[in-house]
């Protein structure tokens, strides 16, 4: 991993019903914020929110959503690809992705390289309750870039320690989390810091702001977290960005932020692999909370 400047960019969806015109407006907003952020900060990796091309809750059927988006790469990613190529930056772009049959839609994070090509894509593996307009993905993804090895998770994925751990074991140094989080700022911060600390990785978490086509309101609060769980950049609730320089040489220098005590342990290297091996069947077993809840 090289030292570089990362940005979490807060993008508000276009107001009103989802239409081809609003999708175009959303893409224009994404490109405008990418341009302005790079110009102001020199960011080399920019992470945009979940479903930035449409807003998270689209308010239309899966069939209508399929018609409004595209394959990845495709027309829905082309404006962001062109911006990345023009600026020479990496972009993680959240968008719905058209699947092979009409009505099959994925919630996707596309990793765009500085040549404008789509380096890889990740399809959300843990769908939020009621997110029945998309099909879940099946695989963790880690992308090797000149800046760092990037792991990917989307919003509710960040509640599940297994996904981030798999990606860390696969070599991820920075986990990018495009999101449109619908719960509290406390849970947002808790899960970002926990996934960073669990695995000693940077987390660049971009949360939506504004109101999406279904009328859902988002609170922003995008953040960048270090491998010792220090929040080094935090956004407010308006459109814009936060940035931080990610430096591998100092990421694990101290036990806690600002401490004179050096960091000596490694959550990955010191896992009890015998324990994990002994309980693999239990880890794979279906389970549910024993406490009453709405489901």
The DSSP string of 164-180 is HHHHHHTT-SEEEEEE-
What are 68-77's pLDDT values in tens digits? 999 999 999 9
Cβ atoms 99, 71 nearer than 8 A: no
Which residues have a catalytic role annotated?
A: 50, 124, 155
The confidence score (pLDDT) of residue 258 equals 86
What are 48-64's pLDDT values in tens digits? 999 999 999 999 999 99
d(CA 141, CA 268): 18
Integer-rounded Cα radius of gyration of the chain: 19
* 4-249 has CATH 3.40.50.720 classification: no
What are 178-229's pLDDT values in tens digits? 999 999 999 999 999 999 999 999 999 999 999 999 999 999 999 999 999 9
| β-strands 142-144, 149-152 pairing | antiparallel
The confidence score (pLDDT) of residue 229 equals 96
d(CA 108, CA 77): 11
Per-domain residue ranges for the chain?
A: 4-249
d(CA 256, CA 270): 18
Strand partners, 111: 92, 120
The confidence score (pLDDT) of residue 257 equals 87
pLDDT at 15 over 90: no
The per-residue b/e assignment along 127-145, b for 16 or more CB within 10 angstroms, e otherwise, is: bbeeeebbbebeebbbbeb
The confidence score (pLDDT) of residue 294 equals 83
Q: What is the pTM for the complete model shown? A: 0.96
C-alpha distances out from residue 5 to 104, 170, 282, Å: 36, 23, 41
pLDDT at 295 over 80: no
């Amino acid at each position: 991993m090289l030292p570089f400047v990362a940005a979490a960019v807060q993008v508000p969806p276009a107001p009103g019903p989802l239409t081809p015109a609003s999708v175009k407006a959303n893409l224009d907003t994404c490109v405008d914020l990418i341009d302005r952020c790079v110009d102001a900060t020199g960011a080399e990796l920019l992470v945009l929110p979940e479903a930035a091309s449409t807003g998270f809750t689209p308010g239309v059927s899966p069939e209508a959503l399929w018609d409004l988006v595209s394959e990845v790469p495709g027309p829905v990613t082309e404006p962001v690809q062109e911006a990345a190529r023009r600026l020479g930056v990496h972009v993680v772009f959240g968008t719905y992705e058209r699947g092979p049959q009409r009505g099959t839609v994925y919630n996707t994070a596309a990793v765009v390289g500085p040549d404008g090509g789509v380096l890889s894509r990740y399809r959300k593996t843990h769908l939020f309750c009621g997110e029945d307009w998309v099909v879940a993905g099946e695989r963790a993804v880690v992308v090797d870039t000149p800046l760092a090895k990037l792991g990917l998770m989307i919003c509710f994925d960040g509640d599940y320690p297994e996904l981030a751990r798999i990606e860390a074991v696969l070599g991820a140094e920075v986990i990018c989390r495009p999101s449109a989080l619908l719960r509290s700022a406390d849970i947002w911060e808790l899960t970002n810091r926990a996934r960073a600390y669990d695995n000693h990785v940077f987390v660049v978490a971009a949360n939506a702001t504004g109101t999406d086509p279904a009328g859902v309101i988002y609170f922003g609060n995008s953040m960048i977290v270090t491998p010792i769980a220090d929040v080094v950049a935090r956004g407010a609730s308006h459109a814009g960005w936060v940035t931080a320089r990610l430096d591998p040489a100092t990421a694990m220098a101290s036990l806690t932020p600002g401490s004179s005590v050096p960091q000596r342990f490694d959550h990955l290297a010191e896992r009890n692999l015998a324990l994990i091996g002994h309980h693999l069947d239990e880890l794979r077993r279906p389970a549910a909370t024993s406490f009453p809840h709405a489901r």
